[in-house]
């Protein structure tokens, strides 16, 4: 993953006027349109899509590849959307700079939202990457038919 020189300079600077914004997209076949939010106090336009201002927090992943997501439940649209679907939605997370919102600097990280809960103030859930630990190991079977030189 390559980031721009401007992003690196701002990230490594002792002080910067750049603002890094997280974009979150929630998609599911049962939703009429994706839900797009930005961790900001005002809406932002990025790559032709409008992201609605909503505070949210994403923790760094644990060793098992899972992380948590908390979104402020100010607008009841998200709760209604979560109630309307019966399987895990796909979550895409990206990072942009406010000065150049059309350039995705980091991501998108695509995850599944599982274990969703909500109360009057927040919607929270667990984000899970594809579980590569359930893949068979080794990937191939070393048999005389496939690997004649081994036998």
pLDDT tens-digit readout, 105-123: 988 888 888 888 888 788 8
How big is the chain by its Cα radius of gyration, in Å?
Answer: 20
CATH no. of 18-150: 2.40.10
CA–CA separation, 120 and 2 (whole Å): 39
Return the closest-CA partner of residue 125 out of 64, 65, 58: 58
Residues 118 and 81: their CA atoms lie apart, in Å, by 12
pLDDT surpasses 60 at 132: no
Dump pLDDT digits (tens) for 59-113.
Answer: 877 676 678 888 887 667 777 887 888 888 888 999 999 999 999 998 888 888 8
Q: How far apart are CA 40 and CA 54, in angstroms?
A: 6
Name every residue whose Cβ is closer than 8 Å to that of residue 63 and which is 6 or more positions away in sequence.
Answer: none
- In this prediction, what percent of the chain has a pLDDT beyond 70? 87
User: Residue 48's pLDDT is what?
Assistant: 93
- pTM for the full model? 0.76
Contacts of 37 (CB under 8 A, 6+ apart): 23, 24, 26, 51, 52, 53, 54, 56, 71
pLDDT band at 135 (very low <50, low <70, confident <90, very high): low
Mean pLDDT of the chain: 83
Contact by Cβ (8 Å): 39, 101: no
pLDDT band, residue 19 (cuts 50/70/90): very high
pLDDT at 134: 62
């Amino acid at each position: 993953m390559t980031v721009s020189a401007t992003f690196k300079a701002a990230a490594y600077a002792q002080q910067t006027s750049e603002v890094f914004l997280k974009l979150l997209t929630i998609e599911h076949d049962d939703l009429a349109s994706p839900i797009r939010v930005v961790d900001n106090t005002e809406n932002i336009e990025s790559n032709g899509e409008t992201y609605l201002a909503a505070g949210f927090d994403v923790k760094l992943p644990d060793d098992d590849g899972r992380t948590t997501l908390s979104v402020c439940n100010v607008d009841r649209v998200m709760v209604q959307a979560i109630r309307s679907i019966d399987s895990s939605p796909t979550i895409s997370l990206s990072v942009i700079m406010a000065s150049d919102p059309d350039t995705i600097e980091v991501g998108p990280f695509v995850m599944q939202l599982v274990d969703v809960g909500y109360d009057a103030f927040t919607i929270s859930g667990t984000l899970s990457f594809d579980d590569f630990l359930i893949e068979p190991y080794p990937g191939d079977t070393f048999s005389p038919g496939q690997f004649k030189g081994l036998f």
